[in-house]
Amino acid sequence: MAEVGERNAGNVMTAIKAAAALSWAAVAGISAAGLLVLVHVAAASFVAPPRLGSVAAISVVVLVLAWHLRVDTPLMRRQTTAAMTAVVIVCNDLTAPLHQTVAVVGVGLLASLVIFRRFRWANLYWFISRLLAAAILVAVFQHALATGIIWPVALLAGWLAFFLTAIAVESAFTTSSRRRSTFRNGIDWPPALGMLAINLLLCLAGQHTAQQFQRDGVQAFFLVFAAVLALAVTGWLRNRDLRRRLTGLVDASLELPWSSDGLDKTLLTAASASVRANQVILRPEAPADMEIGVRMRHWDDGNNYLVAFRNGGAQFTEEDEQVLDALAHVGSIMVRHNELVHELRLQADTDALTGLGNRRTLWRRLAEINTGRGPGEAIAVVYLDLDEFKSVNDQHGHDVGDLLLTATAQRIRSEIRQADVAARIGGDEFVVVLRDVGTEHDARAAAERIAAAIARPLTARGNTLQVQASIGLAYSGRPAKDIEELLRNADARMYGNKRLQQRLRESERAGSGSETILAVAVERGIRRHRLRVALQPIIALDLDAIVGFETLARYEDEELGNIPPDQLVAEANRLGLLNELTIQVIDGAAAAMARVSGITDLRSISVNVELGQLTSGSTVVDRLRRMRAEGPELNVIIELTENSLDTMTEECRIMLAQLRSEGFKIAVDDFGSGYSSMNSLTEFAFDIVKVDRALVSGHDGNARNIVVSHLIAMFTALKADVVIEGIETAEAVEWLAGCPNLNAQGFYFGRPMWPDELIARLETSGKAARPASAWDAHPVMVD
């Protein structure tokens, strides 16, 4: 196969060389014949000078104008003045001596070269070839008349000989000199033949005029008429083409700047209109025969060809190629412009080291996600901070630190979905926005997966590194009014976890062993009954007084310090100690309420219980029942988190019904933090709904009043009380004041307090919603 290919290639090269040799021979022959014609004309003109009349003078002027204006047929576009030359020759006296007409043509062409300073050797060649063609036309005509052929047929024979000579000269010269051929894009035959037919008719009319009227004035008038007509028609055609091309360029320019989406459409539409092509396309292949095209920069692979072609192989002109070239150039500029704009925007929105978004991108994308999500779509903001990153820079250098940051970014990308957002907002701080995460448990699981991926060992510059990431998570079940609050909450929780991790590492370095220090601390606290309870007051707004309390678990380890409640509960659950933790909270609540009952008539106490703990034979259920038995006057409220309602089983539903029948009240806590609460609330009876702070936070009081009013109306119809959580300011109390039968809870009325502090408040201020006491300004417990 290779031998066949080489043989075919050799044959093609041989054919090309043969064609070039024949072309050089033809050019040499034509040149020699043309020189002989020049010598003959010069000699004959010396013996018998040509007659210079008005026809000859006008012929010279017409040839000069034709050369200047490039008045050509499509067959000879821009390369010759053959059409007007034929008319000039015929309108002169063809029966006169040969040198008479040839001399007129020669003077006209020579005058064009002199006037327009076209002294290139190629133009000299055209000059000689045109003289030869003119001599052939006259010689064939005179020879045909001498043989008795009537003059129209004789003129047709001479006319054909003239144009065949012009075509042969064109082909031979362009092939031998490797110049751009007039016919490189094919011939638009219908217009070409039409123009040649018009030229032939003009020649026949001119010869008829010369035969019928032997006066120079009539012949001169006809020549002027023919020249003006030809110039007018050709000028009109050229102006039409010029307007078409300019229109395409202007329309394309008016649509600047082109976007990446509209570039191809704008470019192809403008190119098609400008070059009058049947189809213009962008493709990777170069233009073939009968097509025109130009290379241009493109979006996908960097380079493409803008290619135009016409049905039937119709010819394009050089002006068409120039317009196509200009449009491709403008298109390439716009591609580069948009790439630069995209690159600059990317640089402005991207962290240069990791390729993640920066703080600016995070704010914009978080705002878009928050406002664009549906009512049931929950999001989570995960704040991540690398622990002891500074020591990596100090010990191994900043280049290793940069590699660690880059690897961290890659690991974060690998653990999130395409719809999620990741950003680096500080030296070793990252933020991830998780979309459509379902429950808060799902969000926390995703955050832990990211942290686990970051903690995998990494080899950089020969060093094996393993760093941990402290995480903080803020969950949002519905569009938030203040995205800054989401970031603040995630940041605060991250720093709380970071402080805990620092204490854990310090304990490990102090020789505490390889066990999980947090697990040991939690287990130690529960097993040794070191948990404490804090109580936060619940206020009836219409009474402006305390009506009950919520019990909250707190634990401060002797080694780790204060352990956040969410970590305490999560770790206890993981260790299988959640029942023990809940029982200790119930015991603490019972003891605290025994003291409260001694100085006031307040009897309502809420206890947080996981739904899964309410099963038959559960120790938690047994302890709750014993609490009621020991204090029958107590109003014990069992609080269930909204997110836990997803795990509702038939056994839990039966147990809830039994507990309600025994006098317990059931409350749904954190209503509004999840998305499944409405469905779950219709599946069992409940007594109280505690509305999550996220549902009513913000600055639009009217909107909040509408939301709270409808909630109160809905839950009142369901015979349930409403407690609004997270009340921290006087303004929040003001916009709730108009809502009847409403309870509230938050830092504005009191932070969680130890039982001793609660007793002190009740003894000094009674049930007042907000006493002016010093302790409230310096609370010992933080929720």
The strand pairing partners of 292, in sequence order, are: 308
Q: Is 310 exposed, middle or buried (0-12, 13-18, 19+ CB in 10 A)?
A: buried
Q: Would you tell me how many other CB atoms lie within 10 Å of the CB of residue 721?
A: 20
Round to whole Å and give the CA distance between 609 and 586. Answer: 10
Q: Are 71 and 83 in contact (CB under 8 A)?
A: yes
Residue with token string 């001498």: 146
Round to whole Å and give the CA distance between 473 and 432. Answer: 10
Termini Cα distance of the chain = 84
DSSP label at residue 238: H
Round to whole Å and give the CA distance between 772 and 764. Answer: 10
Q: Which residues contact 718 (CB under 8 A, 6 or more apart)?
A: 681, 686
Amino acid in position 169: V
Cis before 779? omega within 30? no
Round to whole Å and give the CA distance between 698 and 707. Answer: 12
Q: Would you tell me how many other CB atoms lie within 10 Å of the CB of residue 491?
A: 18
Residue with token string 């001596």: 97
Q: Tell which phi-psi region holds residue 148, choosing left (phi > 0), alpha (psi between -120 and 50) or beta.
A: left
Q: Tell me the two tokens of residue 354.
A: 């990791």
Catalytic residue among 72, 93, 188, 428: 428
Torsions phi, psi for 216 (to 5 deg): -65, -30
Round to whole Å and give the CA distance between 747 and 155. Answer: 113
Round to whole Å and give the CA distance between 742 and 381. Answer: 31
Amino acid in position 710: H
Residue with token string 């970031």: 487
Round to whole Å and give the CA distance between 594 and 605. Answer: 11
The rounded radius of gyration (Å) of the Cα atoms in the chain is 49
Task: Tell me the three state secondary structure of residue 301.
Answer: coil
Round to whole Å and give the CA distance between 308 and 198. Answer: 29
DSSP label at residue 315: P
Q: Are 783 and 566 in contact (CB under 8 A)?
A: no
Strand ranges (E), 586-705: 604-608, 635-641, 665-671, 688-691
Q: Find the Cα–Cα–Cα–Cα dihedral 232, 318, 64, 169, rounded to 10°.
A: -120
Amino acid in position 42: A
Residue 428 appears among annotated catalytic residues: yes
Q: Are 436 and 370 in contact (CB under 8 A)?
A: no
Q: Are 360 and 348 in contact (CB under 8 A)?
A: yes
| Max CA distance (Å), the chain | 150
Q: Kindly list the distances between the CA atom of residue 511 and the CA atoms of 387, 394, 520, in Å, as whole numbers in the listed order.
A: 20, 24, 14
Q: Are 768 and 774 in contact (CB under 8 A)?
A: no
- Which stretches of 82-120 are DSSP H helices? 82-91, 98-115
DSSP label at residue 484: H
Task: Tell me the three state secondary structure of residue 746.
Answer: coil
**What is the Cα 88 distance to its own chain's centre?**
64
Round to whole Å and give the CA distance between 616 and 613. Answer: 9
DSSP label at residue 768: B
Catalytic residues: 428
